[in-house]
């Protein structure tokens, strides 16, 4: 793609700057932006622009697209899992889920991941590279194109650590939220992090109305250290302090994700510790029966333990739900589809 840039990597403001630098009226920037998110395939379809501007755009930009490499559709609940091929040949996963309140897409933010959580397939091959904001936008657009429908909710819970790719993720949020673009409301977007404390604080100050989810998965440091290496850098106490700071700044409820793993973090004592840790916070706990990853030895907690864990949190007055398992018939856990794909190519 020589020197041309992916136009989806440009925010509206950046496009307007480009236009002004080229001595054209600023509103042309918004017109171009609108066409991009109406999903035109080429610049020639931007019919309200002059021929000269179109040829200038062709010189400077291309419209980045991803190809659907694999698509799996659940027979049970219509959950769809996609493997998308990016322009450089790398592949990322995203998942489309149907809820009563609309369609939700779970997107990846990095190719691979460097967090190396013990139970997760995304980190197995390490980090290949960050994704650009334009590539994240294209995840939403490629799936929307495939189903022929608008997608109203986005969760950043696919492969990658969003806060390890902070700037591109912020750019993505601003662009996807723009009313002239895909217009997805901030309250319909959830960012999930493994706990990069300084970025949680930075995000708190950035005044977004998005939802924040924290992958906690343990209520004591020794257990969390073994599950999530990031905990060796930022301890649970620091993480909780950062969450309290976020709450003070935004007054938006935080979700704590807790994947229940047999004999590791599913005991009564773990639940009581969790309740004490979160007491008094505006939060919600999402208990997730862990997905089996072939390469990993962890087992799902059994139903009785899950129920007991939940009822202990209930007793302490902590808001808690057990995540419904969607698409279990196509259930390659996070990162597994890509993992299988890259193995198949070896």
Residues interacting with ligand SAH, by CB under 6 A? 115, 117, 119-120, 157, 161, 192-194, 215, 257, 259, 288, 290-291, 293, 333-334
Q: Is 334 a catalytic residue?
A: yes
Q: Is 93 a catalytic residue?
A: yes
Give the residue with the Cβ less far from ligand SAH, 42 or 126: 126
How many angstroms separate the first and last alpha carbons of the chain?
Answer: 26
The residue among 142, 61, 72, 152 whose CA lies nearest residue 104 is 152
Give the residue with the Cβ less far from ligand SAH, 63 or 290: 290
CB of 261 to ligand SAH, least distance (A): 8
Q: Give the residues across from 155 on adjacent strands.
A: 106, 190
Which of 210, 243, 283, 334 is flagged as catalytic? 334
In contact, 230 and 194? CB cutoff 8 Å: yes
CB of 36 to ligand SAH, least distance (A): 27
Which of 93, 138, 161, 257 is flagged as catalytic? 93
> How far is it, in rounded angstroms, from Cα 178 to Cα 55?
26
**CA 52 to each of CA 15, 56, 278: distance values in angstroms, whole numbers, following the listed order:** 17, 6, 59
Give the residue with the Cβ less far from ligand SAH, 128 or 193: 193
> How far is it, in rounded angstroms, from Cα 282 to Cα 259?
20
CB of 157 to ligand SAH, least distance (A): 4
CB of 117 to ligand SAH, least distance (A): 6
Which residue reads 């390890």 in tokens?
A: 164
Give the ranges where the chain is alpha helix by DSSP (H).
12-21, 27-37, 51-60, 133-147, 166-177, 197-205, 221-227, 230-233, 236-250, 268-278, 303-315, 336-345
Give the residue with the Cβ less far from ligand SAH, 227 or 313: 227
CB of 296 to ligand SAH, least distance (A): 7
What Rg do the C-alpha atoms of the chain give, in angstroms? 21
Q: Which residues are catalytic?
A: 93, 334
């Amino acid at each position: 793609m020589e020197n041309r840039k992916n136009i989806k990597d440009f925010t509206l403001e950046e496009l307007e700057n480009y236009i002004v630098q080229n001595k054209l009226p600023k509103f042309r920037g918004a017109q171009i932006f609108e066409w991009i998110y109406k999903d035109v395939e080429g610049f020639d379809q931007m019919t309200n622009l002059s021929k000269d501007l179109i040829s200038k755009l062709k010189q400077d930009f291309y419209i980045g697209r991803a190809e659907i490499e694999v698509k799996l559709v659940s027979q049970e609940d219509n959950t769809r899992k996609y493997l998308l091929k990016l322009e450089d040949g790398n592949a990322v996963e995203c998942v489309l889920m149907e809820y009563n309140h609309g369609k939700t897409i779970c997107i990846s933010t990095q190719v691979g991941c460097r967090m190396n959580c013990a139970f997760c397939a995304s980190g197995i091959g390490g980090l290949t590279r960050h994704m650009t904001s334009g590539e994240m936008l294209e995840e939403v657009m490629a799936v929307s194109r495939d189903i022929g429908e608008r997608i109203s909710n986005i969760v950043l819970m696919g492969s990658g650590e969003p806060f390890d790719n902070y700037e591109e993720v912020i750019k993505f949020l601003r662009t996807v939220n723009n009313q002239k673009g895909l217009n997805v409301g901030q309250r319909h977007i959830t960012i999930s992090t493994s706990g990069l404390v300084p970025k949680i604080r930075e995000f708190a100050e950035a005044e977004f109305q998005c939802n924040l989810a924290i992958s906690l998965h343990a209520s004591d440091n020794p257990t969390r250290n073994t599950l999530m290496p990031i905990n060796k850098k930022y301890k649970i106490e620091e993480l909780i302090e950062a969450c309290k700071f976020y709450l003070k700044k935004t007054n938006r409820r935080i979700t704590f994700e807790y994947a229940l793993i047999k004999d590791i973090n599913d005991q009564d004592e773990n639940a009581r510790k969790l309740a004490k840790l979160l007491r008094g916070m505006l939060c919600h706990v999402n208990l997730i029966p862990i997905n089996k990853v072939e390469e990993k030895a962890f087992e799902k907690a059994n139903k009785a333990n899950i129920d007991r864990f939940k009822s202990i949190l209930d007793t302490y007055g902590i808001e808690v739900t057990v995540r419904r398992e969607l698409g279990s018939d196509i259930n390659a856990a996070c990162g597994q589809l890509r993992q299988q794909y890259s193995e198949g190519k070896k």
